Amino acid sequence: MPFIQLSGVALSFGARDLIKNATLNLQDGSRAALTGPNGAGKSTLMKIAAGLIKQDSGDVIITKGARVVYLPQTGIRFDQGSIRNIAEEAFGFWHKKLAEQDRLGQALATPGITEKETARLLEEHHAIGEALENAGYWRRDERIADVLSGLDFKPRDFDRSAGELSGGWQMRLALARVLLSDPDIMLLDEPTNYLDLEARTWLEGFLKDYRGAVLLVSHDRYFLDVTVREVYELFNGNLTRYAGTYSQYEKRRSQELAALFDAWERQQEEIQRIEDFIRRFRYKESKAPQVQSRIKMLEKITPIEIPEGMKRIHFSFPPAPRSGHAVVRLNDVSKSYGATHVLGSFSLEVERGQKLALVGPNGAGKSTLMRIIAGVETNFEGEITYGANVILAYFSQESAELMASDSTVEEEAESICPPDMLPKIRNLLGAFLFRDDDIEKPISVLSGGERSRLALLKLLLKPSNLLVLDEPTNHLDLTSKDILLEALKRYEGTVIFVSHDRQFLDELADRVLELSCGSTPRLYHGNYAYYLEKKAREQSALADSARARSEGGVGTGSGVVLPVTRASVPAPTSGRDWADDKARKANLRKLKRREEEISARIDEIAAKKTAYQAELADPRVYVNGDRTKKILADIAALDRETERLNNEWLEIAQELGEEEA
Calpha distance 520→518 (Å, rounded): 7
Report CA 513 to chain centroid distance, whole Å: 23
Average pLDDT over residues 170-183: 92
| Comparison of pLDDT for 613 and 280, the residue scoring more | 280
Which pLDDT band holds residue 202 (cuts at 50, 70, 90)?
very high
Per residue in 117-134, pLDDT (tens digit) is 888 888 888 888 888 888
The pLDDT of residue 512 is above 80: yes
The pLDDT of residue 436 is above 80: no
- 3-state DSSP assignment of residue 302: coil
Strand partners, 35: 233
Residue spans of alpha helices (H) in 282-395: 288-300, 366-374
Per residue in 245-264, pLDDT (tens digit) is 999 998 888 888 778 778 88
Strand partners, 574: none
Cβ contacts of residue 30 below 8 Å, gap of 6+?
213, 214, 215, 229, 230, 639
Cβ contacts of residue 381 below 8 Å, gap of 6+?
332, 333, 334, 335, 336, 345
Strand partners, 471: none
Report CA 637 to chain centroid distance, whole Å: 28
Burial letters 277-299, b for 16+ CB under 10 A, else e: bbeeeeeeeebeeebeebeeeee
Of 499, 519, 522, the closest CA to residue 509 belongs to 499
Calpha distance 41→275 (Å, rounded): 33
Predicted pLDDT at 560: 36
- 3-state DSSP assignment of residue 583: helix
**Most confident option among 57-61, 63-67, 311-315:** 57-61
Which pLDDT band holds residue 426 (cuts at 50, 70, 90)?
confident
Cβ contacts of residue 287 below 8 Å, gap of 6+?
281
Mean pLDDT over the full length of the chain: 83
Calpha distance 32→240 (Å, rounded): 12
Calpha distance 487→460 (Å, rounded): 10
Calpha distance 72→91 (Å, rounded): 20
Taking CB atoms within 8 Å and a gap of at least 24, the contacts of 647-652 are: 648/594, 648/598, 649/244, 649/245, 649/248, 649/595, 649/598, 649/599, 649/602, 650/245, 652/591, 652/594, 652/595, 652/598
Predicted pLDDT at 423: 78
User: What's the N-to-C CA distance of the chain in angstroms?
Assistant: 46
Average pLDDT over residues 628-644: 79
| Cβ-contact 104, 63 below 8 angstroms | no
Predicted pLDDT at 557: 40
* β-sheet with 511-514: strand ranges across: 392-395, 466-470, 494-498, 355-359, 511-514, 522-524
| Comparison of pLDDT for 362 and 580, the residue scoring more | 362
Calpha distance 430→66 (Å, rounded): 41
Average pLDDT over residues 503-517: 90
Residue spans of alpha helices (H) in 417-447: 425-431
Strand partners, 217: 189
Strand ranges (E), 141-278? 185-189, 213-217, 230-235, 238-243
The pLDDT of residue 442 is above 80: yes
Look up the pTM and report it: 0.68
| Cβ-contact 384, 329 below 8 angstroms | yes
Calpha distance 532→514 (Å, rounded): 11
Calpha distance 350→387 (Å, rounded): 10
Residue spans of alpha helices (H) in 339-447: 366-374, 397-401, 409-416, 425-431
Per residue in 316-329, pLDDT (tens digit) is 777 888 888 999 99
| Comparison of pLDDT for 112 and 489, the residue scoring more | 489
Angle between helices 478-490 and 448-461 (to 10 degrees): 20
Predicted pLDDT at 448: 67
The pLDDT of residue 269 is above 50: yes
Average pLDDT over residues 369-377: 92
State phi, psi for 53 to the nearest 5 degrees. -130, 140
Cβ contacts of residue 223 below 8 Å, gap of 6+?
192, 200, 203, 204, 502
Predicted pLDDT at 661: 57
Per residue in 132-153, pLDDT (tens digit) is 888 778 888 899 999 999 998 9
Which pLDDT band holds residue 86 (cuts at 50, 70, 90)?
very high
- Return the percentage of the chain with pLDDT > 70, whole number: 89
Predicted pLDDT at 627: 76
Calpha distance 199→153 (Å, rounded): 10
State phi, psi for 346 to the nearest 5 degrees. -155, 165
Average pLDDT over residues 183-199: 91
